[in-house]
C-alpha cells in the first residue's frame, strides 16, 4: 500500500507524518507513493574506495530529454552514463574512506531529488575479479634488490574493460603538508604519475621491464590502473580496474639499484629519527589474546588479518614462523593505531623479542579509522606508509631490523582479559555477564545492557512464539536485539522466518557481496 499524498523527494530515510521514506516501509506497507522511484538501490552495492566501478541505479527511468548527474557525499559531482539498453549508471569515485556513501542523482541537471547509497570498501576487500593481479608480488615489492630483476607482469579480466585497447597507468600515494610553514595537518593524495602503456591490446596481460624514474622516486607507494584507451591519461570518474597497493621499488631512483642496502639503511635511519619525534601510541593499544584459540574466539575485538590467514594457507610473508594473525578491530582513539597479534603452529603468541616474525603493532591501523580521509587514518595507505615501508627499509632491504622492532615491539598478553558472555536462550533463560542465572518470560521491549558512561544501549524485544503454520505457542522468545553506542549507527538483529536479518538504521544490510562492513563508529561482520 502506498500513500498518494506525500513525496520522498530529498527525504529518503525519513519517516513523514502520513507515510514513510524508510526502507522498512515496504514490509510495513506505509511507503509514500514515489518511494520506489525516489529512493533507489545501487547494483552492485559495493566498490573499492579507489573507485572506477559502474553502479547501476535500479528503478530509475530517464526521460527522453533527460540527463544523468551523480553526486557523492553531497560533494563530488560527475556525469552519469547510460548503456545501450537504457540502464543508468554512476561511476564510483576515488575516496579516502570506507563505509556507506550517499549518492544523489539528478535527471534535469539541477535538482538532486533521488537518493541511494553504496558501500566503499578497503581495496583488499573489494571484489577480486575486478582487481589487476601483480604476478609474483615478491618480485614487484623487492625489485632492484639483489637477484630481483627482469620483467614484471600483470593480468586482469579483459571482459571487464569494454574496449579493444587499454591504458596501463601508475598512480601514487603520499601524505604531504601543503602549508610551507609546516603547521597544518598532513593531507592524503592519490594521483596519476605516468603511463606504462598506451593503447595496448586488451588481452588481459601486460609485461614490461621497469626503468628507474628519479623524478617520481618520492612516490614509494602506489597502484596500477587500467582503463579503456579512449580515456585520457589520469582521467577521473571513469570505469577502471585497480591493482592492490604496493611498494614501488621497481621505479625508484638509480641509486637504489646501485646499492639497495645502503639506500635502505639511510631511509631506515631517517625513519628512526622521525619515529622518535612522533607521539607514543603503544600504551593505548589493547593487549593480544594469549593463544590462537582465544584470538579466534574473541570475534568482538579481533578479526583475521587477511595477509596471514590459517584458513587460506597461512601465507605470512612479513611474519615468518607464524601461521595466523589477527588485528584489533577498533583503532586507538587518540592516534588511530592498530594492534596485530600473530601465532605459531602450536597456537602460542609469537613475540618480536623471540622472532622477527612476531606480533607488531601499527602506528596506523590497516583498516583505517573514523573519520578517515586524513592521515594517519586513511584505510590501507596510511598503514603502508607508516608501518610497511619502514619494514622494507629496515628488515627486507637492509640489516637494521632491530631499529624497526625497537619502535614496533610486541605488546604481549599480560593485560589481556577474555570477554565475558551474556546468554539468552530458550523460554527466556538469562545468564548475565557475572554468571547470574534467572528466567523471565515477559513480553515487550526491555534493556539488556545500559552503560551511561559509554552511552551504550542494548535493547531486546520478546514476543510469543509462532509456529510455521501460524499457531501461537505459550512460550516467549527473543525476537530482536537493537544496539547503539555514542554516535554509532543503530544496529538491529531480528528473526525473519528461518533466518536472521541485520538492519542498519532500519535498513536491511545485504551480505551477498561483503561479509564485513565499516559503519558509523562500529564494524559489522557475518561470520
Q: What is the mean pLDDT of residues 195-211?
A: 98
Let me know whether 340 and 352 are in one domain.
yes
Q: Which of 231, 256, 281 is the last residue of a domain?
A: 256
Closest CA to 343 of 323, 363, 357, 329: 323
Dig out the grid coordinates for 128 from the structure: 577480486
Residue 263 falls inside a structural domain: no
pLDDT category at 311 given cuts 50, 70, 90 is: confident
Q: Average pLDDT of the chain?
A: 93
Let me know whether 280 and 402 are in one domain.
yes
Residue 14 falls inside a structural domain: yes
The pLDDT tens digits for 405-419 are 999 999 999 999 999
- Residue 497: the pLDDT is 79
pLDDT category at 53 given cuts 50, 70, 90 is: very high
Let me know whether 150 and 31 are in one domain.
no
- Residue 5: the pLDDT is 58
Let me know whether 78 and 156 are in one domain.
no
Q: For residues 342 and 346, what is the distance between their CA atoms, to the nearest angstrom?
A: 12
E strand intervals along 33-110: 42-43, 46-48, 54-57, 69-72, 76-79, 81-82, 88-91, 99-106
- Residue 182: the pLDDT is 58
Q: Report how many domains make up the chain.
A: 4
Let me know whether 232 and 143 are in one domain.
yes
Let me know whether 156 and 279 are in one domain.
no
- Residue 180: the pLDDT is 62
If one compares 286 and 498, the residue with the highest pLDDT of the two is 286
Q: Residue 270: pLDDT above 80? A: yes
Q: Residue 107: pLDDT above 60? A: yes
Residue 346 falls inside a structural domain: yes
The pLDDT tens digits for 120-179 are 999 999 999 999 999 999 999 999 999 999 999 999 999 999 999 999 999 999 999 877
Residue 412 falls inside a structural domain: no
327 Cβ neighbours under 8 A, 6+ residues apart: 302, 303, 304, 305, 338, 339, 340, 341, 365, 366, 367
Torsion 213-216-221-222 (CA) sign: negative
Residue 351 falls inside a structural domain: yes
Q: Residue 4: pLDDT above 60? A: no
Q: Residue 26: pLDDT above 90? A: no
Q: Which of 376, 407, 438 is the last residue of a domain?
A: 407
Residue 240 falls inside a structural domain: yes
Q: Which of 407, 432, 450 is the last residue of a domain?
A: 407
The pLDDT tens digits for 366-384 are 999 998 999 999 999 999 9
Full DSSP string of 78-100? EE-EE-TT--EEEEPPP-S--EE
Let me know whether 69 and 145 are in one domain.
no
Let me know whether 287 and 398 are in one domain.
yes
Can you list the pairs that 132-141 forms with residues at least 24 positions away whose Cβ atoms lie under 8 Å?
132/156, 132/224, 132/225, 132/226, 132/241, 132/242, 132/243, 133/243, 134/224, 134/243, 134/244, 134/246, 137/244, 137/246, 138/317, 140/246, 140/247, 140/249, 140/250, 141/246, 141/247, 141/249, 141/392, 141/396
Let me know whether 361 and 241 are in one domain.
no
Q: Which residue range is the domain that position 220 belongs to?
A: 125-256
Q: Residue 184: pLDDT above 80? A: no
Residue 75 falls inside a structural domain: yes
Let me know whether 397 and 439 are in one domain.
no
Let me know whether 471 and 481 are in one domain.
yes
Residue 265 falls inside a structural domain: no
Let me know whether 403 and 309 are in one domain.
yes
Amino acid at each position: 500500500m502506498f500513500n498518494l499524498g506525500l513525496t520522498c523527494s530529498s527525504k529518503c530515510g525519513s519517516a513523514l507524518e502520513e507515510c514513510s521514506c524508510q526502507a522498512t516501509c515496504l514490509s510495513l506497507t506505509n511507503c509514500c507513493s514515489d518511494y520506489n522511484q525516489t529512493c533507489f538501490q545501487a547494483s552492485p552495492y559495493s566498490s573499492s574506495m579507489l573507485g572506477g566501478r559502474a553502479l547501476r541505479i535500479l528503478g530509475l527511468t530517464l526521460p527522453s530529454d533527460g540527463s544523468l548527474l551523480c553526486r557523492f557525499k553531497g560533494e563530488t559531482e560527475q556525469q552519469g552514463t547510460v548503456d545501450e539498453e537504457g540502464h543508468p549508471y554512476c561511476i564510483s569515485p576515488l575516496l579516502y574512506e570506507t563505509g556507506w556513501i550517499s549518492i544523489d542523482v539528478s535527471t534535469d541537471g539541477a535538482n538532486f531529488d533521488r537518493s541511494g547509497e553504496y558501500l566503499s570498501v578497503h581495496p583488499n576487500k573489494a571484489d577480486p575479479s575486478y582487481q589487476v593481479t601483480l604476478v609474483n608480488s615478491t618480485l614487484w615489492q623487492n625489485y632492484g634488490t639483489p637477484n630481483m630483476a627482469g620483467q614484471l607482469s600483470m593480468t586482469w579480466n579483459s571482459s571487464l574493460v569494454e574496449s579493444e585497447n587499454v591504458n596501463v597507468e601508475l598512480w601514487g600515494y603520499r601524505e604531504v603538508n601543503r602549508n610551507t610553514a609546516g603547521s597544518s595537518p598532513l593531507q592524503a593524495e592519490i594521483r596519476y604519475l605516468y603511463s606504462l602503456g598506451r593503447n595496448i591490446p586488451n588481452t588481459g596481460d601486460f609485461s614490461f621491464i621497469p626503468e628507474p624514474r628519479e623524478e617520481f622516486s618520492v612516490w614509494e607507494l602506489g597502484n596500477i590502473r587500467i582503463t579503456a584507451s579512449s580515456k585520457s591519461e589520469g582521467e577521473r570518474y571513469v570505469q577502471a580496474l585497480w591493482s592492490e597497493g604496493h611498494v614501488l621499488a621497481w621505479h625508484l631512483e638509480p641509486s637504489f639499484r646501485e646499492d639497495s642496502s645502503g639506500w635502505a639503511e639511510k631511509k631506515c635511519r631517517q625513519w628512526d629519527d622521525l619515529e622518535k619525534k612522533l607521539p607514543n601510541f603503544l600504551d593505548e593499544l589493547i593487549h593480544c589474546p594469549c593463544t590462537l584459540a582465544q584470538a579466534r574466539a574473541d570475534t568482538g575485538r579481533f578479526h583475521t588479518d587477511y595477509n596471514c590467514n590459517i584458513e587460506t594457507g597461512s601465507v605470512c610473508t612479513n611474519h615468518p614462523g607464524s601461521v595466523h594473525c589477527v588485528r584489533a578491530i577498533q583503532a586507538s582513539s587518540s592516534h588511530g593505531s592498530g594492534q596485530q597479534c600473530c601465532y605459531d603452529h602450536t597456537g602460542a603468541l609469537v613475540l618480536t623479542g623471540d622472532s622477527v616474525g612476531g606480533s607488531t603493532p601499527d602506528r596506523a591501523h590497516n583498516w583505517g579509522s573514523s573519520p578517515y580521509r586524513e592521515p594517519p587514518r586513511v584505510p590501507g595507505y596510511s598503514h603502508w606508509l607508516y608501518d610497511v615501508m619502514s619494514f622494507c627499509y629496515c628488515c627486507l632491504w637492509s640489516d637494521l631490523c632491530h631499529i624497526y622492532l625497537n619502535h614496533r615491539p610486541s605488546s604481549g598478553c599480560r593485560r589481556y582479559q577474555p570477554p565475558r558472555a551474556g546468554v539468552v536462550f530458550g523460554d527466556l533463560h538469562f545468564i548475565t555477564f557475572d554468571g547470574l542465572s534467572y528466567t523471565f518470560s515477559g513480553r515487550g521491549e526491555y534493556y539488556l545492557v545500559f552503560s551511561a558512561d559509554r552511552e551504550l544501549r542494548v535493547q531486546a524485544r520478546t514476543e510469543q512464539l509462532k509456529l510455521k503454520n501460524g499457531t501461537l505457542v505459550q512460550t516467549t522468545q527473543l525476537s530482536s536485539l537493537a544496539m547503539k553506542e555514542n554516535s554509532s549507527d543503530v544496529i538491529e538483529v531480528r528473526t525473519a522466518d528461518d533466518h536472521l536479518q541485520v538492519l542498519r538504521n532500519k535498513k536491511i544490510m545485504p551480505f551477498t557481496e561483503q561479509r564485513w562492513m565499516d559503519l558509523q563508529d562500529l564494524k559489522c561482520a557475518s561470520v
